[in-house]
Structure 1
């Protein structure tokens, strides 16, 4: 039934995404004259950050937050965690997707309850399109379009929160009845804790069902695999980010997987911006297109379909190089060894002998999730 409703790892795609200097286009190869936010020839409103700029952005955010909250209470966004700061970094919203909890807090000295109310309202009504929200600054959130949390949170009257007036009333209720305080290094934090509905994960899955269905059909990749990857990578959190520079639902890194998809699949120059990858449609398309590349280019010599399936999943996390290094240091010999083994032997090797411990756990986790989605 879940399937009917339905669509970083720190080393995500960092090994497997190298490609020849002049790669052959392998899908939909007509040059595109309109690439939206990814037109890198002068019509782009967004900037592609260099690695140094990206790291500097994270460091700046960390410094600003620690000035207000102290070292012990520094918190930043992650793959399964949304964190957004407001009001000179004195106020923050934190959504723990794994545990279904929302925390809105402030260390503001002046009018903390009014500050907290505004932050609660912005959190409850934040847009479903993450490209509209700047996670790396204290800018306010534009409250337009369908709220991302619609259906994932109920107010004190057990109603969905779609409009500003209802968000305002619920914020008043929370501050009047649920306000808590906590002593910090730098003063006192005022906060409220909001429980998400029991099926909040299914609510998010439902939001992306059409996008996953379309991408699966477009690239001939199983829907349940895409669902399993999204659940593993982000718990269906479209705001997901990682220190490795991965963005969005499928945790795509622009300069590796993103570049491969642009060059090999889309026939576009350059790499996608973070705004492009924060868009759920673009992110799911790009992540699924990368599976197409793994299947038809990097791992095309793998003969057994089940072995190829295992190898693709492992390569999405630890790279094609990591998959081959599990079997031999020489890539050609590794491919020969891989093809001589039975799928269960390949699975054992990838979950016990892969050079990276995270990749060993990743394959097992994705396959377990895939079974869940296949039977729903």
Structure 2
């Protein structure tokens, strides 16, 4: 995520993002209470973000319908996801759902909190699971899926709590009495990922 204070520079920044071969062309923005302009190329990161530039040919979601990545993006990483899911005993649909919510299938995504890559691993989590190159799709996905597996085991298969732990950290879930922590981001994140999960499970093939 990038913050820009001066709107003329912001316009130039938008053009630079759109021209970058590594960035998604859909660009979202909002201006905070201090007048700082925030940009991201990750859909669904924060409710305040509004779409300001759409990739040519990309579909506009229907009202109330969650954004979904393109089939090309899904296919690009499907074999890695399938291998990681089978290796670590996690449903591929759940992995796809987490990636959709975390990075929108952008392997170069970086969050304002410092999480990186497809599954938005924090540096400490990446080190815990032996991820050396956090932007490498294979390493990032395997590290993220192993973390998700451990969270599911920790919370006895409760997907809601595992997802809350993935978003806010397992200790936050424990401090909340093994409930979803009372953070707006986490309260929004869990049902959003579950919605994506059901949509991926319903996809043919």
Q: Same fold (TM over 0.5)?
A: yes
- Tell me if structure 2 keeps the 8 A contact 1:325–1:355: no
Q: Is 1:292–2:119 an aligned residue pair?
A: no
1:195 aligns with 2:118: no
Rounded Cα–Cα distance in structure 1 between residues aligned with 2:176 and 2:85: 29
8 A Cα contact 2:116 2:135, kept in partner: yes
RMSD (CA atoms): 3.2
2:126 is equivalent to residue 258 of structure 1: yes
What is the CA-CA distance between 1:293 and the residue it aligns to? 2.7
Q: Deviations over 1:210-236 (max 9, x none)?
A: 010010011111101100001101111
**Alignment pair present for 1:247 and 2:86:** no
Classify the secondary structure of the residue corresponding to 1:93.
helix
Q: Counterpart of 1:188?
A: none
Q: Conserved in 2, the CA contact under 8 Å of 1:228 and 1:367?
A: yes
1:72 matched to 2:17? The reply is no
Check 1:91–1:217 CA distance in 2 against 1; reply closer, same or farther (3 A cut): closer
Instruction: Tell me if the contact between 2:121 and 2:144 (Cα under 8 Å) persists in the aligned partners.
Output: yes
Report matched runs for 1:18-57 at 5 Å.
none
User: What SS class does the counterpart of residue 311 from structure 1 fall into?
Assistant: helix
> TM-score of the superposition, structure 1-length normalised?
0.40
Matched ranges for 1:72-91 at <5 A: 72-75=7-10
Shift of 1:321: 1.4
Contact 2:69 2:100 in 1 (8 A): no
Identify if the C-alpha distance between structure 1 residues 195 and 221 changes in structure 2 by more than 3 Å, giving closer, same or farther.
same
Distance in 2 separating the partners of 1:363 and 1:221: 17
> 5+ unaligned residues in a row in structure 1: which ranges?
1-7, 9-57, 76-88, 95-102, 105-122, 136-147, 150-191, 263-270, 328-337, 339-348
How far apart, CA to CA, are the structure 1 residues paired with 2:190 and 2:202? Answer: 19
Question: Which residue in 2 is equivalent to 1:317?
Answer: 167
Q: State whether residues 201 and 235 of structure 1, in contact with CA within 8 Å, keep that contact through their aligned partners in structure 2.
A: no
* Corresponding residue SS for 2:16: strand
Q: Which one has more relative contact order, counting CA pairs under 8 Å at least 6 apart?
A: 1
Corresponding residue for 1:356? 183
Alignment of 1:85-164 (within 5 A): 92-94=15-17, 103-104=18-19, 123=20, 126=21
Q: Would the aligned equivalents of 1:322 and 1:355 in 2 still touch at CA under 8 Å?
A: no
- Offset from partner CA, 1:77-124 (integer Å, 9 cap, x none): xxxxxxxxxxxx889432xxxxxxxx44xxxxxxxxxxxxxxxxxx4x
Structure 1 distance, partners of 2:13, 2:187, is 40
Distance in 1, matches of 2:54 and 2:161, equals 42
Structure 1 residues 284 and 322, CA gap change in structure 2 (3 angstroms): same
Greater Cα shift, 214-223 or 282-291: 282-291
* TM-score normalized with structure 2 length: 0.69
Residue of structure 2 equivalent to 1:283: 140
Displacement of 1:243 in angstroms is 2.0
Tell me which residue corresponds to 1:225: 94
* 1:194 shift after superposition: 5.5
Q: Which residue of 2 aligns with 1:158?
A: none
Shift in alpha-carbon separation, 1:193–1:231, aligned structure 2, 3 A: closer
Distance verdict in 2 for CA 1:201–1:194, change over 3 Å: closer
Alpha-carbon deviations, 1:25-69, whole Å to 9, x = none?
A: xxxxxxxxxxxxxxxxxxxxxxxxxxxxxxxxx8xxx7xxx6xxx
Question: What residue ranges of structure 2 are gaps of 5+ in the alignment?
Answer: 26-52, 60-67
User: Which has the greater radius of gyration?
Assistant: 1
Seen in structure 2, the aligned counterparts of structure 1 residues 355 and 193 have a Cα distance that, compared at 3 Å, is closer
The question of whether the paired residues in 1 share the 8 Å contact of 2:69 and 2:105 is answered with: no
